[in-house]
Amino acid sequence: MVRWLGARRWVVASGSTAVFAIAALAAKPAAADETAFGVQGETMLIEDKTVAGLSVYGFYSMFGLQLGFALAWLDEEDPRPPIEGSFIGGLFHVHALVRFAVMQPLTLRAGTGLDAWLLWGIDEDEQKYAMPLVLEARFHVGDHLNLFVQPRYYLIASDGLEIGVAPDGDEGSPFLVTVGVGGEW
């Protein structure tokens, strides 16, 4: 059961992709022989929920792969079944990325992949999947340390995975934003 997002959101996604593409075209590809491996701690900025975890990534030249896992909780316990507590579950992601060196010390990344929300805290077999469009700005603080902001936008998502919609129906930003700190070698 997969839901394609509506036309309005496609316009938002296409627009942000176009802006990113223009920035990327103006930028320089990462050096062809430059490999990089990194690990990062990250948290998603979500209302009334906490999602935090770790990712690892590797790049060869412009192209890379990132794997990550995070755990998710409600900020306040919900005594109602099926959750009976605050633990929601986990988010596993695998993203294929390209990177561009815009200017020192900033790098842009873009990509897509799979986000798998494994909602064990709700039900052992409850899972939601999404295909994100990932854009990222990474700020290199030193030789190895970096900070990043990564908005992601779900192009396709399972029924019942509503980004930008609160449980009471209020609407907000359709972008899931992840921030974090990483080490790169």
Partner 1 sequence: MALRLATLMAALALAACTPVTFSHDAVIDFQTFDSVYVQPIVVDGNTIFDGYSISLQQDLVGELRDRSGFRSVTTEPDGRYVTVLSVELYVTENYDPIFDDDDDDDDRFTVEASWYLRTLDGDRIDGGSASEDGDYLEDTAREVIGEIAHRYLRAYRL
Closer to partner 1 by Cβ: residue 21 or 141: 141
Task: Please give the Cα distance from 44 to 163 (Å, whole number).
Answer: 12
Closest approach of Cβ 96 to partner 1, in Å? 23
Closest approach of Cβ 17 to partner 1, in Å? 17
Structure tokens at 118: 């494994």
Closest approach of Cβ 39 to partner 1, in Å? 20
Residues making contact with partner 1 (CB under 8 A): 45-49, 74, 78, 81-83, 88, 105-106, 117, 119, 122-126, 128, 137, 139, 141, 147-149, 151, 159-167, 170-177, 179
Closer to partner 1 by Cβ: residue 30 or 88: 88
Closer to partner 1 by Cβ: residue 134 or 176: 176
Structure tokens at 164: 């930008």
Q: Where is 173: in which H helix or E strand? A: none
Closer to partner 1 by Cβ: residue 164 or 183: 164
Closest approach of Cβ 112 to partner 1, in Å? 19
Task: Please give the Cα distance from 121 to 72 (Å, whole number).
Answer: 9
Among 181, 9, 24, 4, which residue's Cα sits nearest to residue 99?
24
Q: Which residues contact 140 (CB under 8 A, 6 or more apart)?
A: 104, 105, 106, 107, 146, 184
Pair 70, 90: CB distance under 8 Å: yes
Closer to partner 1 by Cβ: residue 58 or 85: 85
Among 106, 179, 185, which residue's Cα sits nearest to residue 141?
106
Closest approach of Cβ 160 to partner 1, in Å? 4
Structure tokens at 107: 């790098």
